[in-house]
Amino acid sequence: MTTAPVSAVILAAGEGSRMRSTRPKPLHMLCGRPMLLYVLDALSEVPLERVVVVVGHGAERVTKKVQELADPRIEFVEQRVQRGTGDALSVALTIFPDADPDDGDDLLVLPGDTPLLQPSTISALVALHQDADAAATVLSAELADPTGYGRVVRGREGRVARIVEERDASPEEAAITEVNTSIYCFRRSLLAPALRRLTPDNAQGEYYLTDVIGVLADAGYRVGSMVAPNPVETNGVNDRRQLATAEAVLRARTNARLLAEGVTMVDPTRTYVDTTVTIGADVTLFPGTLLQGRTVIGEGAEIGPDVHLVDTVVGPGARVQHTVARDAEVGADASVGPYAVLSPGDEVPDGAVTGPFYTAQRETHRD
């Protein structure tokens, strides 16, 4: 798809104070996975030379978790002092070789808190950027209520002239409904010089990455834009309310995929399945089902109503109702519940019928 080498930088150094949590913001969970992993998923359709994650707050925890769960080739660089997104990208560039103006390498830049991004949107952004031979291309979104977002300001012939943060916008600029999503594709050879021209002369006293767009446009370089096909996928997660909203979208996507793969859901709005769960064909999920972690459901099984399984394996044809289980195993064609409790290590044999209020018997030993 691409005509020039592309790398990616994900900016995940922020503290995320509005989350009101000791957990680093990129590690907040969505449908069983840390939020940052969904941003990495969005890069899957672009052949990338390198992927660099800028970490800061909770750097060691973020690095360790991503190395554990994602591609081990991902690189990390730490922004030790939080001085804005422009500074964060400057820190990321320190681990890249100096760019040759003639090599045409491009760099995707994404925030670490946009878990709803679709791979097709990112690949389309790169294709548009390279087809136009642009210095920078901004992914924008049209919002009925742009409150809280930077506005895309256009100049002559509708070209992108600059991006202004809301707190720095004039009344006329604040009325603009096209907003910046903080997702860009840059020609890397032009990026470092533009970053050096940034100043913290703004309401936050920070180096804004958004100001690079104005620097490049003022220098006469082509700055393009692409409006996101669905503004929902560009939504950032800055607090618990937005986290819950993103979770609902991801769960709806997961349920739609499972339905297409042959899983029956009596009421999808009351069925909760983590993206880490594996479910076979012809499974029926009744209302109140919550499946989490590394749970595996075999073909033809019936789960629910009111079942909560975590890291549990259910064999083909089994029936589980009104049950709570963690790190347990249910054999093929077994019937569990109602009101059963399976603890870590419990195993229900193939074809067994537990009856109601089942709790596995455990041997006790006396010294």
Nearest Cα neighbor of 93 from 211, 201, 186 is 186
Q: Which phi and psi (to 5°) does residue 270 adopt?
A: -120, 30
DSSP-assigned beta bridge partners for residue 226: 139
Q: Tell me, yes or no, if 197 is annotated catalytic.
A: no
| Cα 142 from chain centre | 21
Q: Using DSSP bridges, classify how beta strands 151-154 and 160-164 pair: parallel, antiparallel or unpaired.
A: antiparallel
Torsion of CA 33, 35, 36, 37, to 10 degrees: 30
Nearest Cα neighbor of 317 from 354, 280, 290, 288 is 280
Q: Which residue has the tokens 């390279």?
A: 130
d(CA 357, CA 163): 61
Listed in sequence order, the residues at least 6 apart from 215 whose beta carbon sits closer than 8 Å to its beta carbon are: 194, 197, 198
Q: Which of 18, 159, 240, 257 is catalytic?
A: 18
Based on its alpha-carbon atoms, the radius of gyration of the chain, rounded to whole angstroms, reads: 24
Query: What's the one-letter identity of residue 299?
Result: E
Contact 105, 6 (CB under 8 A): yes
d(CA 156, CA 26): 39
Nearest Cα neighbor of 105 from 41, 174, 50 is 50
Q: Which phi and psi (to 5°) does residue 174 adopt?
A: -65, -25
Q: Using DSSP bridges, classify how beta strands 289-292 and 307-310 pair: parallel, antiparallel or unpaired.
A: parallel
| Catalytic residue set | 18
